[in-house]
Amino acid sequence: MIVYFLYADESGQTKIKRNSQDNGLYILSGVLVHEKDWRSVEKKLADVKQYLFPRHRPGEWELHAQEIWNSKEFFAKEDLRLNLAKKEEIFSRVVETACESEIVIINVIVFKDRLGRRLSSAVMKSSWRRLTGRFEYFLRQRPNRADDGLFFIDSSQKTPQTEIENAILGEVRRRGNRLGSRHVIENPIFVESDRWNLIQLADMVAYVVHRHCRKDARFERWFKLLEPKMYHSGGRIRGFGINEIPDSLGREAGPHSCGKLLP
C-alpha cells in the first residue's frame, strides 16, 4: 500500500458576523506529499529556514505567514531586521522551495458573505468536506488505485478537533457509499505546527491564496509560481486545485474560482 500525506492549515476565520458588511474569506489549504518524499521536503524547508535566519535553529521558529507579514511574535525581534525586503525574501524562498518539491496543492476558498445567514459551523464543515472530497478524488485518479491518504492537521486551529474529525468522517463515508470504495483514512492526525515544516508550508500557501483572492498585487507573483503545483485534472485547475464555496451561481459546490486563474 502506498500512502499520500495531506498537511492542512488555514488562513482567516470561519466566524460569520451577521451585521458586518465584509466577512471576508476563509482559506483552507492542503499540501499533498507522497510517503517517499515527505522527509526530503521537510529537510528542504528546514534548510531554507536555516538560511533565512542563520543565528536561529529551524526548530526555534515557524513559517507563520501572518506573523511574518505583520512583524509579530518571533518576527518582531529587533535583531531580525524584518524589513519589507526580508519579508519578500522569506516568501520567495519558501515558494521557490515548494515549486522545486514533489508536492500537490489543494485549496478551498470560502466567500463568507455569499453564504447568507449560514452559521460559522457551515464554513468549517463545507471547507473540510470539500478538501476531503478533492483528496479522495486525487487518490482515485492515481495509476495505483490502491493508494491511501492520511490527513495531518495543525492542532492549534480554533475549530474543535472533534468537529473537523466529524466533517472528514462524514465525507469519507458519503463518498464510499456513492462510489463503492474510499481511500482517505477516516482518522486524521493532529500535530503541533512548530514540529512540522509541511504544516507551516500549508500555512504559507493559504496566506498567499488569501491575499491573491483579496487582489493584493504584492502576492500575485507568488501565487503564479505556486499555480502549477495546484491540483489539475484534464488540464483544469478549477474545481480541483482551487475550489470555491459557494460558486458563482450561489451553490455550495462548483468549479469556478477567484482571480486570474487558468480557463
Which domains are delineated in the chain?
3-245 (3.30.420.10)
CA distance 145 to 72: 44
Note the pLDDT of residue 191. 94
Q: What beta strand segments (E) does 1-96 contain?
A: 3-11, 25-34
DSSP state of 252: S
Rounded to two decimals, the pTM is 0.89
CA distance 59 to 38: 17
CA distance 115 to 134: 21
Q: Which tens digit of pLDDT belongs to each residue from 157-199?
A: 778 899 999 999 999 888 666 655 588 998 999 999 999 999 9
Judge whether residue 13 has pLDDT over 90.
no
User: Which region among 33-47, 59-73, 98-112, 249-263 has the lowest average model confidence (pLDDT)?
Assistant: 249-263
